[in-house]
Amino acid sequence: MIKEEETILLNEGKMLPVMEHFYTLQGEGAHTGKAAYFIRLGGCDVGCHWCDVKESWNADLHPLMSTLEIAETAAKFCKTVVLTGGEPLMYNLTLLTQRLKELGCDIHIETSGAYEMSGHLDWITLSPKKTVLPKEAIYSKANELKMIIFNNNDFIFAEAQAAKVSSNCKLYLQSEWSKRAEMYPKIIEFAMANPRWQVSVQTHKYLNIP
């Protein structure tokens, strides 16, 4: 397939750059411990210096897959499907999510919110980054706000972002993995002083699963 044809199919959402896809347990946030099929899309230009999947940034490194094929593969394993990345909202998710809904799936997404939303999404995990702030429209739609805490200033950023989401949005603080020994005591103290916040831990890393 020539590059021009690939670009057209990518723009239409008929093919997507899939870095990996796998069946595991959700390790973070409100759905921790729930079985889910993850579809990780390649491509991200948000540029978090502490990102733990930097290999996802360059979309050209990851093969284009048929959107319908990946939807049907996911649905065979589980009816909870998580779209992650990279930054999945870089792409037109209409066809993927439409097919997943036809197959009876609940669709979750993990996003920085830096791009316009597309597709049918049942659960939106918004994880804002200072480098590229979310689009305003996503704040009111977010089901959970997951703030990554790397240093003390991130608590201030977390509160500023929490002020923008709806009153029904769950609020989570999660340490950046390499800083967990330093930051979790501070996160615990903050959450106890501000009980609308909950603590999220990357349980999948402790369980040694994807």
Predicted local distance difference test score (pLDDT) of residue 45: 86
**8: pLDDT strictly greater than 90:** yes
In which band, very low, low, confident or very high, does the pLDDT at 47 lie, cut at 50, 70 and 90? confident
Predicted local distance difference test score (pLDDT) of residue 20: 96
Entry field: residues in the chain:
210
- How far apart, in whole angstroms, are the C-alpha atoms of residue 84 and residue 17? 12
In sign, the C-alpha dihedral spanning 57, 197, 155, 150 is: negative
If you write DSSP's letter for every residue of 6-60 in order, what string do you get?
A: HHHHHHHTSEEEEEEEEEEE--SGGGTT-EEEEEEE----S--TT-S-GGGS-GG
The Cα-based distances of 128 to 71, 102, 122, 198 in angstroms read 27, 30, 19, 17
Is residue 107 within a helix (H) or strand (E), and if so which, with residue range? strand 106-111
Query: How many other C-beta atoms lie within 10 A of the C-beta of residue 64?
Result: 17
**2: pLDDT strictly greater than 70:** no
Helices 67-77 + 94-102 axis angle, to 10: 40
In sign, the C-alpha dihedral spanning 50, 198, 207, 186 is: positive
Task: Note the helical H segments in the chain.
Answer: 3-12, 67-77, 94-102, 136-139, 153-162, 180-193, 203-207
Q: Answer whether 43's CB lies under 8 Å from 88's CB.
A: no
Write out pLDDT tens, residues 109-145: 999 999 999 999 999 999 999 999 999 999 999 999 9
In which band, very low, low, confident or very high, does the pLDDT at 61 lie, cut at 50, 70 and 90? confident
Predicted local distance difference test score (pLDDT) of residue 48: 81
Mean pLDDT of 44-68: 85
